[in-house]
Structure 1
C-alpha cells in the first residue's frame, strides 16, 4: 500500500472510491470502504 500511496500527488473521488493519481494524472491506486463500515 505504501508505494502507490507515496507516489500519489493528487486524490479524488469516483463515487464511493478514493482514487490516487501521480503528477502525470495516471492512477496509482484506489481505496474502497470496507463492507459493513458505516457511512
Structure 2
C-alpha cells in the first residue's frame, strides 16, 4: 500500500485533501451478505 500526494512548494502545511486509495478486502463472507454490515 502506497500513499502519495502532490508536492506543494513553499508551504509548511501538508496537503490532506487528496484522495488516497486504501484497498479493503472483505475476508468474512457475512460482511458481503449482511446489509447492515455493508454500511
Alignment TM class, shorter chain as reference: under 0.3
Structure with max Cα Rg:
2
Give me the TM-score of the superposition, normalised by structure 1: 0.23
Greater per-residue strand proportion: 1
